[in-house]
Amino acid sequence: MTDRPSIVIQPDPSSLADAAARHIAQAIRDIVGAGRRCSMGLAGGGTPRAIFERLAAMDDIPWAEVDFYYGDERCVPPDDPDSNHRMASESLLTPIGAAPSQIFRMEAEREDRDQAAADYAALLPDSIDLLLLGMGPDGHTASLFPDHEAIGERALRVIPVIGPKPPPWRLTITIPVIEAAAEVIVLAHGANKAEMVARAIEGTRDLSVVPIQAAIPGTWFLDEAAASGLKKD
């Protein structure tokens, strides 16, 4: 297990989005160019929108060969303003004309959340090719929050959780799904995340305290504000 991610620091959120979009686009081209479909796990929250918009504006990505999954979803209808699927649809899936057969939505609005989680786990690939993750100032990622029993879940790949970030009920992938991904890409900007970025990358490893550390072997795209707590080389 490598103990430090690859870190790409850009001056501001816009250039971070440019760099991340270019990296993701090339990764998709490389996977499809090797003759197979690409599975892409979409991050939720607000940060990915700018990256998705840039990806949708590129004209040389073989989108027909990409299948879209989610790292987590809020337990709201898919057209709710809080829905991660709504954000991804608006900024990427609709603009690129993704077919319904390519989109594997977490049905987190279902009343039986345990069954919805089990159904989603059954369709997740064993290893997601490109897993995009955001992180909160508290070190959470997807809907895996610090000091939460979900961190210790190693058998189930998708579970319902109640988290401190509204809306409270969510479905989330678990740590084994992050660890099994072929490539993990972390997207984070803002000074409010600087302390936790430094803690995650330079502090002792403890997923129950800093869940985003599960993404340490990945590539982290940061703006200067989010990277400001890191030791200068």
By CB under 6 A, name the binding residues for ligand 6PG. Answer: 43-47, 71-72, 84, 134-136, 140-143, 165
The Cα–Cα gap between 116 and 72 comes to 12
Nearest to 158, CA basis, from 186, 121, 212: 121
The DSSP line for 174-204 is -HHHHHH-SEEEEEE-SGGGHHHHHHHHHS-
Residue number with CB closer to ligand 6PG (47 or 91): 47
In whole angstroms, how close is the CB of 125 to ligand 6PG at the nearest point? 19
Residue number with CB closer to ligand 6PG (32 or 43): 43
Indicate the residue whose CB is closest to ligand 6PG. 134
In whole angstroms, how close is the CB of 193 to ligand 6PG at the nearest point? 7
Residue number with CB closer to ligand 6PG (66 or 211): 211
Q: Name the token pair of 139.
A: 């070190």
Q: Tokens 């189930």 appear where?
A: 156
What's the distance, Cα to Cα, between the start and end of the chain in Å?
Answer: 22
Residue number with CB closer to ligand 6PG (31 or 173): 173
| Sign of the dihedral through C-alpha 12, 15, 17, 22 | negative
In whole angstroms, how close is the CB of 65 to ligand 6PG at the nearest point? 25
In whole angstroms, how close is the CB of 188 to ligand 6PG at the nearest point? 7
Which secondary structure element, helix H or strand E, spans residue 170, and what is its range? strand 169-173
In whole angstroms, how close is the CB of 182 to ligand 6PG at the nearest point? 20
Q: CB burial class (10 A; 0-12, 13-18, 19+) of residue 53?
A: middle
In whole angstroms, how close is the CB of 36 to ligand 6PG at the nearest point? 27
Residue number with CB closer to ligand 6PG (35 or 81): 81
Residue number with CB closer to ligand 6PG (32 or 159): 159
What lies within 8 Å, CB to CB, of 100 at 6+ separation is: none
